[in-house]
Structure 1
Amino acid sequence: MFRHNGWLCRKEDGFTFLEMLLVLSVLSVITMIVMPISANWIQQETEEDAFDAFLSSIQFIQAYAMANDVSTKMEFKHEGTMYITATSRKLEFERTNFPTGMRLSDLSPMKVIEFHPSGDMIRTGTMTIETTNGLKNIRFQFQRGRMIID
């Protein structure tokens, strides 16, 4: 407590209502600017992670074919939004859904990936995956199925 012009006053620390409104309005403007940018970034990162998982699944079925002396394949369902990896004996490894906005293109010349028990690809070619950022082409080379990604 202190005296000011003869009056006994208390010192009060804190913010006024106007100061709080100003801070909240600045924060809301910043949030409105950042949210669309971060949402687009999250979608792009999700698609990149899904694409990497897709490539890993291809490498897995090739390794499984060689290790277990059995043919393996990857095929697409639900208009290309899901892929299934399995052996020729119908043993299914996994069913994986692509994230929203990502799918096997209707224009893709290659719709199925298959490996001989030796690990060689049965059919080679180009597979096209649609993403929200455009098309990704994966070219599979003869024999071991090396992938070139455009």
Structure 2
Amino acid sequence: MTILTAIILPFSEKHLEKESEKDALKQFIASVHEMQLYAMTHKESVALTFGESGATYKAEKIDMKETLIRGIFPEGMYRTKHSPLKRIEFSETGYMVKTGKMYFSTQSKGEIFISFQFERGRMIVNE
């Protein structure tokens, strides 16, 4: 039993780590969609910015600095410093002010990116 546990435990920890990062990424993408919806519904500009480490983020109204959303990535996951897209900003019409790629460092997959672009007026998020 001890031998089986010693063999299986590292695999299950990796699986849980991968699932946690996957869930955090889904939550981040949902937050971006929620920001866009808020901008269109309330006719207000909003921005999503990251903390110094890149492991936390928050969405705020641009003119009032009222925080709408807060998020945190699991340990070892963060937006990288060399990411071309540093923040996500939506105008009051729901259009993304600047499009591009955002890079994230993860423990399970290494570096990944999300590409934010528009096609036919809708936001497309590519992992």
Percent same amino acid among aligned pairs? 34
Point out the more displaced range, 135-144 or 37-46.
135-144
1:98 corresponds to 2:73: yes
Q: Which has the higher contact order (CA 8 A, sep 6+)?
A: 2
Residue 126 (structure 2) aligns with: 148
For structure 1, the 5+ residue unaligned runs are: 1-26
Residue 135 (structure 1) aligns with: 111
Which protein shows a greater Rg?
A: 1
- Contact 1:108–1:127 at 8 Å: present in 2 too? yes
Match of 1:37 among 11, 14, 19: 11
For structure 2, the 5+ residue unaligned runs are: none
- Contact 2:48–2:88 at 8 Å: present in 1 too? yes
TM-score by length of 2: 0.91
**1:40-119 matched pairs, under 5 angstroms:** 40-88=14-62, 89-119=64-94
Offset of 1:44 from its aligned partner? 0.3
Offset of 1:144 from its aligned partner? 3.9
Offset of 1:146 from its aligned partner? 2.1
Point out the more displaced range, 54-63 or 129-138.
129-138
TM-score by length of 1: 0.78
Point out the more displaced range, 64-73 or 128-137.
128-137
Point out the more displaced range, 58-67 or 76-85.
76-85
CA RMSD of aligned residues (A): 1.2
Give the distance between the partners of 2:115 and 2:2, measured in 1 at CA. Answer: 47
